[in-house]
Amino acid sequence: MSVPPSVPSPPVPPEPFAWMSKNDPAGRFKITLKSPASEAVTGTLLIVAGILFAALLLADASGVTIALAVGLFIIFAGFGVLLLVMAVARRRWMKAYAHGNGHPPSLG
Protein backbone atom coordinates (compact mmCIF):
# COMPACT_ATOMS: atom_id res chain seq x y z
CA MET A 1 0.00 0.00 0.00
CA SER A 2 1.21 3.41 -0.78
CA VAL A 3 0.63 6.24 1.60
CA PRO A 4 -0.73 9.33 -0.11
CA PRO A 5 1.59 12.28 0.23
CA SER A 6 0.45 14.73 2.80
CA VAL A 7 -0.61 18.01 1.36
CA PRO A 8 0.92 20.84 3.36
CA SER A 9 -1.56 23.36 4.57
CA PRO A 10 -1.16 26.87 3.25
CA PRO A 11 0.96 29.07 5.48
CA VAL A 12 -0.96 31.14 7.97
CA PRO A 13 -0.11 34.83 7.82
CA PRO A 14 1.17 36.47 11.01
CA GLU A 15 -1.38 37.58 13.56
CA PRO A 16 -2.69 41.08 12.90
CA PHE A 17 -2.36 43.43 15.87
CA ALA A 18 -0.44 40.79 17.82
CA TRP A 19 0.18 43.22 20.66
CA MET A 20 -3.54 43.06 21.50
CA SER A 21 -3.31 39.41 22.51
CA LYS A 22 -0.07 39.86 24.44
CA ASN A 23 -1.19 42.51 26.92
CA ASP A 24 -1.49 41.37 30.49
CA PRO A 25 -3.16 44.16 32.43
CA ALA A 26 -2.41 44.56 36.09
CA GLY A 27 -4.18 46.53 38.71
CA ARG A 28 -7.59 46.79 40.23
CA PHE A 29 -9.59 47.48 37.09
CA LYS A 30 -8.45 44.96 34.53
CA ILE A 31 -9.80 44.97 31.01
CA THR A 32 -8.42 42.61 28.44
CA LEU A 33 -8.96 42.81 24.73
CA LYS A 34 -7.35 39.48 23.92
CA SER A 35 -10.31 38.05 22.01
CA PRO A 36 -11.98 39.59 18.97
CA ALA A 37 -15.34 39.35 20.73
CA SER A 38 -14.16 41.56 23.60
CA GLU A 39 -12.74 44.04 21.08
CA ALA A 40 -16.05 44.16 19.22
CA VAL A 41 -18.04 44.69 22.41
CA THR A 42 -15.70 47.45 23.59
CA GLY A 43 -15.78 49.11 20.17
CA THR A 44 -19.57 49.04 20.12
CA LEU A 45 -19.72 50.51 23.62
CA LEU A 46 -17.37 53.32 22.60
CA ILE A 47 -19.54 54.16 19.60
CA VAL A 48 -22.66 54.20 21.78
CA ALA A 49 -20.86 56.39 24.34
CA GLY A 50 -19.89 58.83 21.59
CA ILE A 51 -23.49 59.02 20.40
CA LEU A 52 -24.77 59.55 23.95
CA PHE A 53 -22.22 62.28 24.70
CA ALA A 54 -23.10 64.03 21.45
CA ALA A 55 -26.83 63.77 22.14
CA LEU A 56 -26.45 65.12 25.67
CA LEU A 57 -24.29 68.02 24.58
CA LEU A 58 -26.45 68.88 21.57
CA ALA A 59 -29.46 69.36 23.85
CA ASP A 60 -27.95 72.75 24.75
CA ALA A 61 -27.16 74.09 21.29
CA SER A 62 -24.57 76.77 21.94
CA GLY A 63 -21.45 77.07 19.82
CA VAL A 64 -19.07 75.62 22.39
CA THR A 65 -21.22 72.61 23.22
CA ILE A 66 -21.73 71.81 19.54
CA ALA A 67 -17.97 71.84 18.99
CA LEU A 68 -17.43 69.73 22.11
CA ALA A 69 -20.15 67.27 21.04
CA VAL A 70 -18.63 66.84 17.59
CA GLY A 71 -15.14 66.44 19.05
CA LEU A 72 -16.18 63.84 21.61
CA PHE A 73 -18.20 61.95 19.02
CA ILE A 74 -15.25 61.84 16.62
CA ILE A 75 -12.87 60.64 19.34
CA PHE A 76 -15.13 57.98 20.88
CA ALA A 77 -16.63 56.75 17.61
CA GLY A 78 -13.20 56.76 15.97
CA PHE A 79 -11.73 54.51 18.63
CA GLY A 80 -14.85 52.33 18.48
CA VAL A 81 -14.61 51.88 14.72
CA LEU A 82 -10.88 51.16 15.04
CA LEU A 83 -11.58 48.41 17.57
CA LEU A 84 -14.32 46.93 15.36
CA VAL A 85 -11.97 46.83 12.36
CA MET A 86 -9.28 45.20 14.50
CA ALA A 87 -11.80 42.65 15.80
CA VAL A 88 -12.85 41.70 12.27
CA ALA A 89 -9.23 41.37 11.10
CA ARG A 90 -8.24 39.27 14.10
CA ARG A 91 -11.36 37.07 13.81
CA ARG A 92 -10.57 36.34 10.16
CA TRP A 93 -7.00 35.45 11.13
CA MET A 94 -8.20 33.15 13.93
CA LYS A 95 -10.46 31.28 11.51
CA ALA A 96 -7.59 30.90 9.01
CA TYR A 97 -5.28 29.73 11.80
CA ALA A 98 -7.79 27.15 13.02
CA HIS A 99 -8.40 25.95 9.47
CA GLY A 100 -4.67 25.61 8.74
CA ASN A 101 -3.57 24.11 12.06
CA GLY A 102 -6.63 22.20 13.18
CA HIS A 103 -6.93 24.04 16.49
CA PRO A 104 -7.60 27.64 17.52
CA PRO A 105 -4.67 29.79 18.61
CA SER A 106 -3.97 30.26 22.27
CA LEU A 107 -4.43 33.90 23.20
CA GLY A 108 -1.99 35.10 25.79
pLDDT confidence of residue 88 = 94
From first to last of its 108 residues, the chain has per-residue pLDDT tens of 565 666 566 677 777 777 766 666 666 666 677 788 989 999 999 999 999 988 988 888 788 888 988 999 999 999 999 999 999 999 998 888 888 888 888 765
Specify the long-range contacts of residues 32-36, CB closer than 8 Å, at least 24 apart: 32/108, 33/83, 34/107, 34/108, 35/107, 36/86, 36/87, 36/88, 36/90, 36/91, 36/94
Classify residue 27 by its DSSP letter: S
pLDDT confidence of residue 49 = 94
